[in-house]
A and B are shown apart, each in its own frame.
Chain A
């Protein structure tokens, strides 16, 4: 299908260009999400459609015609906008407010007809605002006003809907509600271009995403293709674990550390024994504090393995549910041998990863134990518990709060 909205080499901005040479298409029935750091020009890009930002080169076209060649009313019949927030400091009733969306479809001399009123009713029902009809807008909450603003935009019956961080002021329930309505409109054939703040929402509701950064727009592709660890660290400066929402299957972003947050390396090597998420918090803190962390053997797909990857922490990878081979054991021994301090987290141990603990027992480096192992996490007939007790008896320091791990490690090094 031909695009409902198309940027073709568009350079947009105000006095100066903010985004250069943008090329992007939004087809009917499609939600395209724009993501990127603050100030990258996402909003400017969207505003160029309605003429609130200037088109400095290239073209922006709506329904096959240059957006700036339409008269205001013509454009308002094709394009609806849901801004971040509309100032609501007037005493219009909610219904009057939504009726304003019909303006572009009314003649100068006429008022609302029965058909117009039916559209207004439908849009208010769709956004669950029908019950507010007689309330003055200035007495309503920000969430209500935002849903009414969506109803107002839908009352324009546009074929293109532009959203500019539409849910940033909404609570979780209303956020989902507004975006569900938007998704529904797209499924009925509307073309939607949305600026998203929240990457998870972007992934959940968009068919394609495009990254806006450094004044340029990347190629739009599926959320799976766009939301990668590399993109997040390059564009947002954040190391993150990329997973899947267990319920919707949408890509999910779990930020681990801001790159700026990491302190300079301090030349202390720490070997970390953990697994199943027991060491994620410890690993993050140690990495931020500037320790050179190396993890023991971790199964691929394990939470700790994902966090280690996001932090560039080396580890010995295991096949899920597979046992450690002799070369794995050697690698873990080497890592522990190199370390100035070994940190052992209370981890569920089984035949697959007990080798980590044995390696620590063989080494002579100072040990810090984090947490207290629970008997039900021991799948080694007590081997793990015996090793843990031996480490403790051998003078290992204990750290009860993972948030204090950097201090525990420093003390262990000094001793």
Chain B
């Protein structure tokens, strides 16, 4: 990387981190009880120093902060997974939702929820089951789309959508059979963050960290595979190993997101795509920038979900779909060149 490029990378990432910080503080200050942004900052700093909190400050730290943080982490996970899938499949339309990975994780998580309930144990079992569901799904979808070693873009998307529908049907069936759990799980599945806790934040954060560090070490490979598998091999990339690593990492992030917030579409599709249009295809910048953008988008979407029709909450998945659909269409029309 030349110095100007490194300077740009640092500037872009610093700007995104600052924007994320601002978005989190603003989002935290909104709610049934308005808390001034300055008060939010004060509450956080008191909590960090272990001092006693006022009632308002306690609301901020114990109720609102975890929700905002979980939203940010979920957005980061979805966008991170989206970047990885898009690079791996050389397809700007790949995203966890379209590929059926979210549905796979959703089925895994539903089964776990049905059989274990919502206790502390669910913080381990639900994501583990979601991870298993996500991994199996992406392997199956990729296998369906591959013929004689060549993965066709259209087949991939069709296989993803088909598998996604089948898995959703199975999930619905499970819910009907276990009717007493249904409303709780449906509520979760629609993409809500109401039940967020610091425990969930820690779980998602941990999975995000693992799911992101590994691909970060492979950022050069993420670039090179855009030249095609065979060229990547000629340039020294062990393509098969790379694919396994990336698929597992992406599945990990998707399952983390799905475990706490159900199925949320478009963040994993839209955010990396927008970041790529603005910043170019170099994953050394694109990966962290997309992750940060995903976090920002999700924090803002959850803010809208909470305050738009307060006191009624809109599931955040509806907000992302409402906002993401048109934006994506606009991007498609604008970017006719089919770049990746």
- Residues of A in contact with B (beta carbons under 8 Å apart): 50-52, 71-73, 75-77, 79-81, 83, 86-87, 89-92, 95-96, 100-101, 103-104, 106, 108-109, 111-112, 117, 136, 138, 152-153, 156
Contact = CB atoms under 8 A, between A and B. Distances in A.
Contacts of A117: 2
Given A72-B236, A103-B237, A96 B282 contact: yes
Interface stretch (B27-35, B220-228, B260-268): B220-228
Nearest to A82: B234
A90 B222 CA distance: 13
Given A90-B281, A92-B281, A138-B339, A50 B233 contact: yes
Contact of A100 (B2, B227, B233, B340): B227
Given A50-B233, A96-B223, A90 B339 contact: yes
Interface residues of B, number: 25
Interface string B309-340: 00000000000000000000000000001111
A89 B238 contact: no
A109 B230 CA distance: 24
B235 A138 contact: no
Contacts of B338: 89
Contacts of A87: 227-228
A100 B228 contact: no
Contacts of B238: 71-73
Contacts of B154: none
Interface string B2-43: 100000000000000000000000000000000000000000
Top 3 A-B residue pairs of the complex, sorted by shortest distance between their CB atoms: A76-B236, A104-B236, A81-B234
A91 B237 contact: no
Nearest to B231: A86
Q: Does more than half of chain B's interface fall in helix, strand or loop, or is it mixed? A: loop
A212 B63 CA distance: 74
A99 to B, nearest CB: 9
Contacts of B281: 90-92
B150 to A, nearest CB: 12
Nearest to A47: B230
Contact of A91 (B217, B230, B339): B339
A91 B233 contact: no
A106 B230 contact: no
A111 B2 CA distance: 10
B1 interface: yes
B227 A86 contact: yes
B237 to A, nearest CB: 6
Given A96-B282, A103-B220, A108-B217, A90 B233 contact: no
B206 interface: no
B226 A50 contact: no
A73 B238 CA distance: 8
Contacts of A77: 236
B199 interface: no
A6 B273 CA distance: 46
A149 B339 CA distance: 19
B280 A91 contact: yes
A101 B235 contact: yes
Contacts, number: 75
10 contacts: A75-B236, A80-B234, A83-B231, A90-B227, A92-B282, A100-B227, A103-B220, A104-B236, A111-B1, A156-B235
A193 to B, nearest CB: 14
Given A86-B231, A92-B280, 10 more contacts: A76-B236, A89-B340, A90-B227, A90-B281, A91-B281, A96-B223, A96-B282, A138-B339, A152-B235, A156-B235
Contacts of A80: 234
Q: Which interface residue of A73, A90, A112 has the most chain B CB atoms within 10 A?
A: A90
A103 B236 contact: yes
Contacts of A136: 280
A370 to B, nearest CB: 54
A79 B236 CA distance: 10
B107 to A, nearest CB: 35
Among B221, B231, B234, B339, which residue has the most Cβ atoms of chain A within 10 A?
A: B234
Contacts of B217: 108-109
A241 B122 CA distance: 81
B339 A100 contact: no
Contacts of B237: 72, 103
B287 to A, nearest CB: 15
Contacts of A86: 227-228, 231
Contacts of A101: 235
Given A83-B231, A100-B223, A108-B217, A90 B236 contact: no
Interface in B146-161: none
Contacts of A109: 217
Interface in B227-264: 227-228, 230-231, 233-238
Contacts of A100: 220, 223-224, 227, 235
Contact of B339 (A51, A81, A89, A103): A89
A112 B2 CA distance: 9
Nearest to B218: A108
Contacts of B340: 89-90
Nearest to B340: A90
Contacts of B234: 50, 52, 76, 79-81, 83, 153
A79 to B, nearest CB: 8
